[in-house]
Amino acid sequence: MKTLGKRIEEKPWIGWVVFLITVVVVFLAGLFTYTIVERRTEAQFVFQPVKDLHPLEPRLEVWGEAFPRQFNTYNQMADTTFRSEFLGSTRLDLLEKNPRLVILFAGFAFATDYNLARGHYYSVTDVHETLRTGAPMKAGEGPMPATCWSCKSSDVPRLMAEMGDDEFYAARWSEVGHEVVNPIGCVNCHDPQTMNLRISQPALVEAFERQGRDVTKATHQEMRSLTCAQCHVEYYFGSGNKLIFPWDRGLKAEEVEEYKDNIEFADWVHPLSRTRMLKAQHPDYEIFKLGIHAQRGVSCADCHMPYRTEGGVKYTDHRVQNPLNNVANACQTCHRQSEAELVRNVVSRQRDVYDVREKLEIALVNAHLEAEFVWNLGATEDQMAPVLQHIRTGQWLWDYGAASHGGAFHAPQEMMRMFGNGVNHAQEARLELARIAARLGHSDPIPIPDVSTKAKAQAYLGIDLEQRQREKNEFLRIVVPEWLQRADERHRQWDSGERDIVPSR
C-alpha cells in the first residue's frame, strides 16, 4: 500500500481535495456550534424589559403585549377541569363534601360558603361571588375591610401607592370594589423595568424587618418562593385592619399560636362551645418550609411554575397550577421515577395525613357539640376554662394544617405531628366535658344532634342560605357590573393620557 504522502507526491490535486474537504467540515462544525450558542442565548434572553410600562400597571394584557408566552400560559388557568384525589382547580363546595366544616366554623363566615380554589385567573371573580363577602349594595356597607383585597389583585399595589397603605387597610371592601378588577398579575411579582422578581406586599417586607432580615437581600431561588409567600401565608388583621404576618416567634403552628395568645387575639367566639377561636388562613409557605423539598432548596416555582420549552426558547410556565397536572415538567426534571409512581407517592402521603385529619375533625365537632350541651346543664366559666383552652388549641392545630393547601404533600411529617397533637387536645376536652357533665348530674353519653349534611348542620346553626344567596345575586346583578364599568372608564382615561395610573396625592 502506498502512503497518502506518496500518493500526494505523485498526484498533487489529491492534496488539494483533502484540504478543501477539511475546510468544509471545519466550517460546518463551526456553524453548528454557533447555532447552539445562539439558541442558548435566546433561551436566556427571551425577553426585553419594557421601558414605557408604568411600574404599577395592573392590566395583564398590557404586559402581555411584551411577554406573550407568559401571558398566554397565564390565561390557560381559565381551564378548571383538573381534579386530583384531594385537590384541583374545579370549583367544589367543600361544605357539601365535608359538612364537619360547618360545625367547626360555626359563627364564622366560612360556615356559610367555602369552595376549593380555582386559581389566580379567577381571584377577583371568586371574591365577588363568595357569600363570605356579603352583598354590600352601597360603598361602605358589608362585612369585609379592603384588606381582604390584598391578596387578590394586581390593582392593590397601585391603590396602596395612591391611597397610602394604612388608608387602604382602613377602607371597606366595598368602598374600593370599583378600583379592584384585575386578577393577580404581573405587577404582584415583577418589576417591569428589569422583569426581576419583586415583593409588592408590605406585610411580607415588614415581617422580615421585625425578624431583623431584609427581603431585598433574598437570593434568586428564595425569591421563587417568596413571591408566593406574599399571599400563601398565615396572616391576621391588626389594628386599623392592617395586614400582618405573625412570624415573629417562628413558622410552626405552636409558635404562631403563642404570638396570637400573647396579643390575646381571637377571630371569633364559637356559638356552640363559646370558645374564643383562632382561624388559620392558608399557611402554605410556612408548612412548605418545614418539609424536605424546602430543606433541599426546592422553590414553589420549581413545581408550580416549571420551565417550558418552545423551539429553542425556554421560559417560565405562568399557568400556576396543580403540579399533578404537569408531572413531566414539575417533577421529572429532578426525579427519574415514572409519572404513575410519583403521583402514587403524593397520594399515599396525603391519604395517611387525611386519615388522621378526619379523626381530629370528628373529635373537634363532638367537643363543640358536647360543650354546648354541658353549658346548658349549667356549667360555670371556671369549670369550662380548661375545656375551651383545649378546643382552641386543638382546632388551631387542625386548621393550620387543613388550611395549608398541599401541606399533606409539602410536609407530611409536620402535618401528622400537628394533627396527632390536635387529637390529643380534642380528646382531653371531651374527657373533661364528660367529668363536668357527671358532676352536674348527667352520667349518660352526651347526645349529639344530627349534623351529618351541609343542610342539616346549617339548619342546626340557623343559617339561612337562601336569603344570603338572594342578596348576593342582587349584588352580582347590580353592583359588580357598575364596578366593572367604572374600571373600563378608568382604563380608557389611562390610555388616552387624561389621567395618571397613580395620580399624585
Scan residues 4-33 and list those touching ligand HEC (CB under 6 A): none
Cβ atoms of residues 320 and 70 within 8 Å: no
- With CB under 6 A as the contact rule, the residue among 113, 179, 257, 284 that binds ligand HEC is 284
- With CB under 6 A as the contact rule, the residue among 53, 56, 88, 290 that binds ligand HEC is 88
- Minimum distance, C-beta of residue 93 to ligand HEC, in the bound complex (Å): 14
State yes or no: residue 188 binds ligand HEC (CB under 6 A): yes
Total residues contacting ligand HEC (rule CB under 6 A)?
Answer: 74
Close Cβ partners of 213 (under 8 Å, ≥ 6 residues apart): none
State yes or no: residue 181 binds ligand HEC (CB under 6 A): no
State yes or no: residue 70 binds ligand HEC (CB under 6 A): yes
State yes or no: residue 158 binds ligand HEC (CB under 6 A): no
Q: What is the DSSP letter of 262?
A: H
The Cα 345–Cα 108 span in angstroms is 35
State yes or no: residue 71 binds ligand HEC (CB under 6 A): yes
- Minimum distance, C-beta of residue 47 to ligand HEC, in the bound complex (Å): 4
- With CB under 6 A as the contact rule, the residue among 174, 182, 227, 275 that binds ligand HEC is 227
Q: Of the listed pieces 204-212, 315-323, 433-441, 442-450, which binds ligand HEC according to CB under 6 A?
A: 315-323
- With CB under 6 A as the contact rule, the residue among 106, 181, 331, 360 that binds ligand HEC is 331
Tell me the pairing of strands 276-277 and 268-269: antiparallel
- Minimum distance, C-beta of residue 350 to ligand HEC, in the bound complex (Å): 6
C-alpha dihedral sign at 246, 303, 416, 448: positive
Total count of residues recorded for the chain: 505
First-to-last CA distance in the chain? 94
- Minimum distance, C-beta of residue 263 to ligand HEC, in the bound complex (Å): 25
In angstroms, what is the C-alpha Rg of the chain? 29
- Minimum distance, C-beta of residue 317 to ligand HEC, in the bound complex (Å): 8
Cβ atoms of residues 429 and 395 within 8 Å: no
The Cα 278–Cα 394 span in angstroms is 10
Q: Which CB sits closer to ligand HEC, 159 or 429?
A: 159
The Cα 8–Cα 16 span in angstroms is 9
What residues between 399 and 428 interact with ligand HEC by CB under 6 A? Answer: 405-406, 409-410, 412
- DSSP codes of every residue in 109-174: GGGT--B----GGGHHHHHHHSGGG---SSTT-SS-BGGGGGGTBTTHHHHHHHH-HHHHHHSBTT
Angstrom CA distances, 324 to 331, 372, 409, stand at 9, 42, 11
Q: Which CB sits closer to ligand HEC, 152 or 454?
A: 152
- With CB under 6 A as the contact rule, the residue among 4, 17, 37, 292 that binds ligand HEC is 292
Q: Which CB sits closer to ligand HEC, 133 or 322?
A: 322
Q: Of the listed pieces 243-251, 273-281, 298-306, 450-458, which binds ligand HEC according to CB under 6 A?
A: 298-306
- With CB under 6 A as the contact rule, the residue among 56, 189, 418, 457 that binds ligand HEC is 189
State yes or no: residue 330 binds ligand HEC (CB under 6 A): yes
State yes or no: residue 319 binds ligand HEC (CB under 6 A): no
Q: Any alpha helices (H) in 335-380, and if so which ranges? A: 339-377
State yes or no: residue 174 binds ligand HEC (CB under 6 A): no
What residues between 332 and 351 interact with ligand HEC by CB under 6 A? Answer: 333-335, 342, 345-346, 349-350
Closest residue to ligand HEC, judged by C-beta, is 406
Q: Which CB sits closer to ligand HEC, 117 or 465?
A: 117
Q: Could you give the dihedral angle defined by the CA atoms of residues 492, 161, 320 and 49, in that order, rounded to the nearest 10 degrees?
A: 70
State yes or no: residue 366 binds ligand HEC (CB under 6 A): no
Of 252, 320, 243, the closest CA to residue 288 belongs to: 252
What residues between 92 and 151 interact with ligand HEC by CB under 6 A? Answer: 117-120, 122-123, 126, 151
The Cα 418–Cα 232 span in angstroms is 19
The Cα 74–Cα 286 span in angstroms is 25
Q: Which CB sits closer to ligand HEC, 329 or 383?
A: 329
Cβ atoms of residues 151 and 183 within 8 Å: no
